[in-house]
Amino acid sequence: DIGDIIRGKDLFLGNDKEKEKRDKLEENFKKYFQQIHEDVPRGSNWQALQARYEGDKNNNFFQLREDWWTANRDEVWKALTCDVDGTYFRATCNGEERTKGYCRCGNDQSGRDKSKAGNGDVNIVRTYFDYVPQFLR
């Protein structure tokens, strides 16, 4: 699950090649979140933020990663489902089309976040299981 990988909580270790790729990905995450962490003291409430993100001795930035995922999960979801013509999903049972025509994005046009029907909230992420432990999913 993408959220578990970003938050550093993915349980799947895979084979040796997969583990090497995962280690490289984890190092990249550490590098990127280090850059974000360095920008924390620049905000208006920098003291509270600095106190919130201190104490990670291995520079894994787990709390920062958790907060980043909470703030950006809907954007990641829209990128996966709306901006790539719905290719994230396999074909539906009613034909060869994937989610094209059934997407919650504005008439399947990139950059429009209004639904064709319903309340227009495309930010209801289908990853309902974000905070259910991975082994229970």
What is the DSSP secondary-structure string of 46-94? HHHHHHHH---TTS--HHHHHHHHHHHHHHHHHHHHTTTTTTTSPPPTT
d(CA 62, CA 11) in angstroms, rounded, equals 15
Which of 45, 69, 93 terminates a domain? The answer is: 69
Q: Are 137 and 129 in contact (CB under 8 A)?
A: yes
> Based on the structure, what is the number of domains in the chain?
2
| Judgement on whether residues 28 and 88 belong to the same structural domain of the protein | no
In a shared domain, residues 58 and 112: no
In-domain check, residue 136: no
| pLDDT at residue 75 in the model | 81
Residues 88 and 117 occupy one common structural domain: yes
Of 131, 7, 111, 116, the residue nearest 69 (C-alpha): 7
| Domain finish residue from 48, 69, 90 | 69
Is the pTM value of this prediction over 0.75? no
Q: How far apart are CA 14 and CA 19, in angstroms?
A: 6
43 vs 60, higher pLDDT: 60
What pLDDT is recorded for position 97? 55
Please check whether residue 35 lies inside any domain of the structure.
Answer: yes
Shared domain check, 60 and 9: yes
Domain of 29? 1-69
Q: So what's the pLDDT on residue 28?
A: 92
Q: Is there a single domain that holds both residue 9 and residue 64?
A: yes
pLDDT beyond 60 at 49: yes
- Average pLDDT of the segment spanning 110-130: 51
Same domain, yes or no: 52 and 113: no
Taking a C-beta distance cutoff of 8 angstroms, is the pair 14, 34 a contact?
Answer: no
